[in-house]
Structure 1
């Protein structure tokens, strides 16, 4: 017996030693391979730097090599250069130093037209209104800006350090005289939660149907502030006696994973919200808590083919928990999570896909490159609630929405566009509020009850989702630029 135990101990020790040796050998082989591959890169870089027929910029060479590596991965992994870093941060956080107007370039007039000032912004307080034309910035005539780069040139002059004044020459619609206006830049935080129309004081009206007390929240991005904005809007609606809610996630490209988790948690009392798993990261699951749930009312969520990422996390969560019906179109299909990694002491960043996320049902909604319409990806509208827009309808919707988003306009939008997706959502919520059967009624969820108090903050996640509209937005209309 004793000899058997000794033999077993010897075998176990031998196996442990062999495993350790094998691990060291494998590690050494990996290191050798790594060194050889890096040597190829270094030798190539050195040869180009020394012997290429023309002088080359070393920084550009390195960045091109990095982008070449990332091109072999997925569309959502990206390198953010020092030149692009500010723009990336602004896109993720929807925050920048500026004057607070949305503008576009009028080629016929060769001037910058103000689409709308932002409520409470320095430009709004200075008297700038929709339709005003900016013809000069800091003494530079807009018509003399480099052709094709007029907006870029204007943005560089209008954006900048908060607290610093900028002089602009304005021509009002009812005048030909140039008025000089001095505006002091401030930190501009773009609202991510919008309503359908404005109140008289310039704030958003989140009650779309005053008679039936149906609320409407249009969420454009998922930033650090989005959960707090949604919570504040829900409190306001609750105080007005809200009986039903429509959450509009159309054209929302996503944003912060944590924001999607916190917003989902406002409507679900218990159970899984979302889970993530990666090759080199531990599986993680976010679960809902009953405390602070806004409930006791029916919900509809509007999505379309450009609702992606964090938008899909929220819509999939509420669909799987039977908390809301999904109305509109199949979503984009982005079921991956990106981690933003600082490079060179934060002067540049690497946005790398590190995990996949899974809806409460356990399914991943990612649309892979060779996926077909018959494959399972994205978030599908509930049965009876699919409402497709043609590209022409989508253009009309965007044009109508741009007109309605103009602050301080006394004129009603000229468009006669009927938003059939919104009408379908309203039809469902109105029917639920009235206790009537609606199309697709068999698929509708049951509203639960609970306290409507704010949930405790979960802290900021280090992971951020892709927020690159250029990858998921169709350029149907020339977008306005915020400055």
Structure 2
């Protein structure tokens, strides 16, 4: 509906060697898990070599021959590629850029792989990094274009624009003295974003007024909250209590980033002070994110030593993550909400809590993404390769990934618990999106009102019914 000057977070980068690889989980924007470097590949090669040598025998000569044959084959194939590029450059009917040819070759190779592997060319790297990093220079507003005029949907709480007094519904008529009439949304975003500490001058007309106001706003580091409550308080902070009388809390996780764990801890601490007795964890429309964040969230709710998730890959060792036992909320009843747009890291959390019977899962079958992508910097970071290198598995061992030929009757994704499947119609899903979007708006502006206050969320209602019964009879199944 608009464009937010927002981004997702990655942890501190570590590198060994020249090639930096980061593992991610998401169906869209990718989020960092960690880094792999040349040493990992070397260890894998050595292990493969040991497995090929029969015990008690030396096979060095044969191994060298195999390696030599493989190297020769590579040279021959690269020569074919180089000759093809050369012929096209010299003899094709029209001139064509060499880089375009090479990028087309890269994309052609990746088209033979899964849908989550891909290539990010130099001209798209900045946007890609913005979608991955949680910090960037901006003023902190969500904008759209209405009737050819740049309009503020909502300021982000605590940002420079919010502190300056920019309101929902404001029309930005000028940016640094230039009219915004007819300006494309992406072009407006580029003008408003900038280095931290630099200043931008805005000409603004408040909703319902005609007089133009001028704001000089110093750009700051903008961080988007990944954890929302049910409603905003008078000071625009989130209220995480859904039902004060029953003591039912509500936490909505939009994506899993490096900041999500701390945000959830803060929300849970606020709920604990209000003596909450049950929790709705809303993972609907959550596309995934940082694997370590999903693991840390699970760790808050399950017992020490219980498996959270495992990953398996062709050239990486199988890893199993288990709970540390430091979680402080292992006895709170939980209802997890998912829908067909819940994917990847959100499926890890819902599957883990379901497998250990720490939560009931309410809603619809999830997306079904059980693969891990490495993000590999090419050309010193000027371009990026996203490559699927591993799969992840839930504690029960059941499959999550939905393969291209998968049927509805096959095992994939996360299914709601028995008696807790609540499918929404297309219209209900759309109204749910509008209702959630309306909660994002800070302030009251009729021109950009997008909420749906009359919508009845049947999935949330079912979760509350379960928690109400569980709180009243803790030992009931």
TM-score (norm 2): 0.85
1:190 matched residue in structure 2:
224
User: 1:55: Cα distance to partner?
Assistant: 2.7
**What runs of 5+ residues in structure 1 fail to find an aligned partner?**
1-11, 443-483
Contact 1:339–1:352 (8 Å) recurs in 2: yes
- Say yes or no: does 1:16 pair with 2:57: yes
Find the partner of 1:304 among 317, 336, 339. Answer: 339
2:266 matched residue in structure 1:
232
Take 2:408 and 2:54, find their aligned partners in 1: how far apart are those partners? 56
Find the partner of 2:463 among 413, 425, 432. Answer: 425
Take 2:119 and 2:402, find their aligned partners in 1: how far apart are those partners? 22
1:452 matched residue in structure 2:
none
Find the partner of 1:385 among 420, 437, 453. Answer: 420
Q: Secondary structure at the match of 2:380?
A: coil
Q: Secondary structure at the match of 2:418?
A: coil
User: 1:295: Cα distance to partner?
Assistant: 2.1
1:458 matched residue in structure 2:
none
Take 1:261 and 1:112, find their aligned partners in 2: how far apart are those partners? 40
User: 1:62: Cα distance to partner?
Assistant: 1.9
User: In structure 2, do the counterparts of structure 1 residues 434 and 72 end up closer, same or farther at CA, with 3 Å as the change threshold?
Assistant: same
Map Cα deviations across residues 340-376 of structure 1 (whole Å, 9 max, x no partner): 1111112222111100001001122100001111111
Find the partner of 1:405 among 431, 440, 444. Answer: 440
- Root-mean-square deviation (CA), in Å? 2.0
Take 2:111 and 2:177, find their aligned partners in 1: how far apart are those partners? 43
User: 1:410: Cα distance to partner?
Assistant: 8.2
Contact 2:434–2:452 (8 Å) recurs in 1: no
Take 2:312 and 2:222, find their aligned partners in 1: how far apart are those partners? 36
Take 2:243 and 2:122, find their aligned partners in 1: how far apart are those partners? 47
Q: Matched residue pairs, number?
A: 421
2:406 matched residue in structure 1:
371
Find the partner of 2:299 among 265, 278, 299. Answer: 265
Which protein is bigger by CA-based radius of gyration?
1
Map Cα deviations across residues 58-104 of structure 1 (whole Å, 9 max, x no partner): 22222222111111111111112222222222223343211111111
- Say yes or no: does 1:285 pair with 2:312: no
**What runs of 5+ residues in structure 2 fail to find an aligned partner?**
1-52
User: In structure 2, do the counterparts of structure 1 residues 50 and 138 end up closer, same or farther at CA, with 3 Å as the change threshold?
Assistant: farther
Contact 2:149–2:182 (8 Å) recurs in 1: no
- Say yes or no: does 1:75 pair with 2:115: yes
Map Cα deviations across residues 402-450 of structure 1 (whole Å, 9 max, x no partner): 222211238895541111111111111111112289xxx75xxxxxxxx
2:376 matched residue in structure 1:
341
2:356 matched residue in structure 1:
321
User: In structure 2, do the counterparts of structure 1 residues 175 and 26 end up closer, same or farther at CA, with 3 Å as the change threshold?
Assistant: same
- Higher mean alpha-carbon deviation, 87-96 vs 409-418, is at 409-418
Contact 1:93–1:224 (8 Å) recurs in 2: no
- Higher mean alpha-carbon deviation, 50-59 vs 21-30, is at 50-59
Map Cα deviations across residues 231-268 of structure 1 (whole Å, 9 max, x no partner): 12111211221111111000000011111111111111
Take 2:293 and 2:191, find their aligned partners in 1: how far apart are those partners? 32
Take 1:93 and 1:212, find their aligned partners in 2: how far apart are those partners? 38
Take 1:117 and 1:71, find their aligned partners in 2: how far apart are those partners? 40
Q: Secondary structure at the match of 1:161?
A: coil
Runs of 4+ in 1 over 3 A off after TM superposition: 12-15, 410-415
Map Cα deviations across residues 158-214 of structure 1 (whole Å, 9 max, x no partner): 111111111122121111222222111111000000111111111111111111221
Q: Secondary structure at the match of 2:329?
A: coil
User: In structure 2, do the counterparts of structure 1 residues 27 and 201 end up closer, same or farther at CA, with 3 Å as the change threshold?
Assistant: same
Contact 1:92–1:255 (8 Å) recurs in 2: no
Take 1:229 and 1:195, find their aligned partners in 2: how far apart are those partners? 11
Take 2:77 and 2:267, find their aligned partners in 1: how far apart are those partners? 54
Take 1:269 and 1:315, find their aligned partners in 2: how far apart are those partners? 16
1:471 matched residue in structure 2:
none
1:50 matched residue in structure 2:
90
1:201 matched residue in structure 2:
235
User: In structure 2, do the counterparts of structure 1 residues 419 and 14 end up closer, same or farther at CA, with 3 Å as the change threshold?
Assistant: closer
- Say yes or no: does 1:358 pair with 2:393: yes
User: In structure 2, do the counterparts of structure 1 residues 13 and 355 end up closer, same or farther at CA, with 3 Å as the change threshold?
Assistant: closer
Contact 1:356–1:364 (8 Å) recurs in 2: no
